[in-house]
A and B are shown apart, each in its own frame.
Chain A
């Protein structure tokens, strides 16, 4: 940097472009990496709820399924409040929106981590190396 550059910097008080580059990249990559088409996300959300409901009754109103990204790892966070567990799982494909007295509400949470960022197209399924965990206290 020449003295003239230096004085220009002082006068403009502009951030150096390298710093701007880093900040802009971080923003754009956070978006790129969690880029899952909203339609697909919605379809996945519905299918997850369908499966879970075969085993437990959940409080549909307060269910939340969303994506979060941190350090190259995008996680699917599902927060599914459980009304009660079913004695016998319903067969697949059956509608689970059922009746039944609601026992105390418990919370199940599942985490599926998709490592390595977004998949390019729905056809190329991302490798889901992840864990799913659920907890419930009836």
Chain B
């Protein structure tokens, strides 16, 4: 629990709505379950949501804004999670903070959080504007999350380029909303396509999962469950890999298919027609 050993990880994507906040919430809970002290920082001041996904929206008193202004102490602003008290949220301040917040301010906040945590997860805003740059300036490493869609991958590429110029590393990739059937039918970018194009090590694969929506409705991240659904399990595996455990990554689109699909795929490969 020292500043030097704390890992400050930016969770970013470029494009909005690809799953940054969902990943931050689930990863935070998963790391807390593994016994780590975790602080999650909502750096999406414009469109803050992390409090809602964690079910903490009614317990916010102070925010990062008061901490920076020194009108409250950090521990007064931090909201501890009831079931996983190892996890604390530092809520985003007023959207107007965007007008004056500097990279140094973000570094100050992240530094304070790092003093009391093993992991600091920063939920970045979408885009590559100042809000993103402030968040990146405070981070040491990053997780880029994308979906297997052209627009999301293209935006992820921009972000990866920026992170390289800002000396944030390592940068690892999470591929979200994977639909194994569509991938197997080659109607979606394959896992290898995305990792080849973006040239990043793959930290995790999260399938498209209705349970994600249900858990968001309730404000209870999937990783709280004892027997998590496929997406929940994927988030837990990501947490374990971050902690250094070696957990094999299985591409769900390459699982053994029924005879018909295998025959069709074989035909497809041998004829090269379609």
Any B CB within 8 A of the CB of A91: no
Interface residues on A, range: 20 to 34
CB distance from B81 to the nearest CB of A (A): 36
Contact A1 B165 (CB under 8 A): no
Residues of B within 8 A of A124 (CB): 165
- Please provide the chain A residues from 1 to 53 with a CB less than 8 Å away from any CB of chain B in the complex: 1, 3, 5-6, 9-10, 12-19, 21-22, 24-26, 28-29, 32-33
CB distance from B198 to the nearest CB of A (A): 8
Q: Contacting B154 at CB < 8 Å: which of A1, A14, A25?
A: A25
With A13-B273, A29-B157 known as contacts, the answer to whether A119 contacts B190 (CB < 8 A) is no
A5, A16, A22, A119, most chain B CB atoms within 10 A: A22
With A1-B261, A3-B260, A10-B273 known as contacts, the answer to whether A118 contacts B197 (CB < 8 A) is no
- Please provide the chain B residues from 161 to 202 with a CB less than 8 Å away from any CB of chain A in the complex: 161-165, 167, 182-183, 185-190, 193, 197, 199
Tally chain B residues at the interface, Cβ within 8 Å.
30
Contact B160 A18 (CB under 8 A): no
The CA of A16 and the CA of B188, in the complex, are separated in Å by: 8
Contact B165 A116 (CB under 8 A): yes
Any B CB within 8 A of the CB of A130: no
Any B CB within 8 A of the CB of A72: yes
With A1-B261, A1-B264, A18-B189 known as contacts, the answer to whether A25 contacts B165 (CB < 8 A) is no
Residues of A within 8 A of B128 (CB): 120
CB distance from A18 to the nearest CB of B (A): 4
CB distance from B96 to the nearest CB of A (A): 24
Residues of B within 8 A of A87 (CB): none
- Please provide the chain A residues from 79 to 133 with a CB less than 8 Å away from any CB of chain B in the complex: 115-120, 124, 126-127
CB distance from A12 to the nearest CB of B (A): 8
CB distance from A25 to the nearest CB of B (A): 5
Contact A13 B189 (CB under 8 A): no
Q: Which residues of B contact A (CB under 8 A)?
A: 128, 149-150, 153-154, 157-158, 160-165, 167, 182-183, 185-190, 193, 197, 199, 260-261, 264, 273-274
